[in-house]
Amino acid sequence: MRVLALTAAVSAALLVSGCGVKFPGDDDKAATATADATQTTPLPLDGEARGEITSSSGLNYSDGSRYQRFSIALTQDQAVSVSLAGALSGTLAVFKDERMVAQGSGGALAFRADADGDYVVAVSGEGANAFGPFTLAAKTITAYDGKPLMGEGAIMDWLTGQAQDYTLQVERAGLYTITLASTVFDPVLRVRGPGVDAENDDSGGSTDSMLRLYLEPGTYTMNAAALEGGSDRGDFNLAVRYAPLPGGMVTGDGSALVSGRVAVARVENASGRRFVLDVPRDAQVELEARSEDFDTVLYVEGPGGNFEDDDGGSGTNSRLSQSLRAGRYAVRVESLGGGTGMFEIEARIDGVDAPPATDVQAP
């Protein structure tokens, strides 16, 4: 979700409307905003406040939209997530002493207080015809404490103009999904460590970043950055999720394919994965590479010739069916365009039955 700039006229309209604060006598967990633009309704931390944008609400002269103001008391370095729910299609902005602290679109933002005091949260309609009731919620965020992530977990932190490093300590081998998400800048994620140097921009949905990596035990560095040319400041979430290796997972090159058995592996960017296939006698052989993460390309080289396929299977999957002479063949799976992800590969040799499952071991 990309940030829409809140114009200076919106800020001016807020200031012209007055700086007075009125505290209605509602309970400490819910309050109702009045339509009077000169008043500011208390927004309780870890609570809610209700309001409604009407034709009597304060006017933003830049675009004709209407606004209401809420006040929340915070201490320095306190992190808060503010969200908007209800019928109103609106935007949020936060001010401190006539200075804009944070802005967002889509009804949600997060910010960190840079000083003790009262902060004004402005709720605006997305346009001149945006009206309706809404609920504004404020929740405390536990910010990053500087400690390494141990296997799994999440970090909420702020980018302050330059890339930042975080440590991941992996104790057990497996598949790790690492995501970097932000509503205020386009994030770029990089992971470096034993045998790994991977980078991603937009695989996490919208402009968010995601990497799915096979990681061995060790210490890894996760780097959070903003896409060059865009905003490089704002809050983000960095999360790590572990999953055990699927059955038949191949983690290195040179593993033998067994007729009738599916092997699971992954490719990283431009690198492929290599296998060997022993054909005991002249036979019809079928090979298939399948992936939901990338467009597979399948290569086979050996005494019976060299073969290649891109989309001979379903969708962007690869499939080869060839009459091959007996011998050893080199089989390689790559990603068209340098994508990253998991795939399955299966070989079927005519006349060769698959062994019992207990006879097949994952490398």
- HSE-CB for 322 with a 13 A CA cutoff: 23
Q: Is 348 exposed, middle or buried (0-12, 13-18, 19+ CB in 10 A)?
A: middle
90 C-beta neighbours (distance < 10 Å), count: 28
Which residue matches tokens 């019928």? 87
Do 255-355 and 8-141 have the same topology in CATH?
A: yes
Give 338's contacts (C-beta < 8 A, 6+ positions apart): 269, 270
Domain 255-355: CATH class, spelled out: mainly beta
**Mean residue pLDDT across the chain:** 83
163: tokens are 């890339």
- The Cα diameter of the chain in Å comes to 89
CATH entry, 149-243, from 3.30.56.10, 3.90.1280.10, 3.20.20.190, 2.60.120.380: 2.60.120.380
Cβ atoms of residues 43 and 31 within 8 Å: yes
Cβ atoms of residues 153 and 239 within 8 Å: yes
Cβ atoms of residues 137 and 85 within 8 Å: yes
Q: Could you state, in order of their start, the residue ranges of all structural domains in the chain?
A: 8-141, 149-243, 255-355
The ranges of the chain with pLDDT < 50 are 1-35, 358-363
Reduce the DSSP state of residue 36 to 3 states and report it: coil
| pLDDT tens digits, one per residue of 62-102 | 899 999 999 999 999 888 888 899 999 999 999 999 899 88
- Report residue 273 CA to chain centroid gap: 26
**Which ranges constitute the DSSP H helices of the chain?**
8-16
255: tokens are 């593993």
260: tokens are 């009738």
Which residue matches tokens 């055990």? 244
User: What pLDDT, on a 0 to 100 scale, did the predictor assign at position 29?
Assistant: 42
pTM summary value: 0.55
| pLDDT tens digits, one per residue of 230-253 | 667 777 889 999 988 777 688 788
Q: Which of 61, 64, 25 is nearest to 42 (CA)?
A: 25
Say how far apart CA 102 and CA 141 lie, in whole Å.
15
175: tokens are 């598949």
Q: Which of 328, 293, 336, 329 is nearest to 312 (CA)?
A: 336
Task: Tally the residues of the chain.
Answer: 363
Q: Which of 291, 284, 285, 282 is nearest to 257 (CA)?
A: 285
CA-based R_g, the chain, Å: 28
End-to-end CA distance of the chain: 41
Give 178's contacts (C-beta < 8 A, 6+ positions apart): 168, 189, 191, 210, 211, 212, 213, 222, 238, 239, 240, 241
Domain 8-141 sits in CATH at 2.60.120.380
Q: Is 306 exposed, middle or buried (0-12, 13-18, 19+ CB in 10 A)?
A: exposed
User: What pLDDT, on a 0 to 100 scale, did the predictor assign at position 269?
Assistant: 63
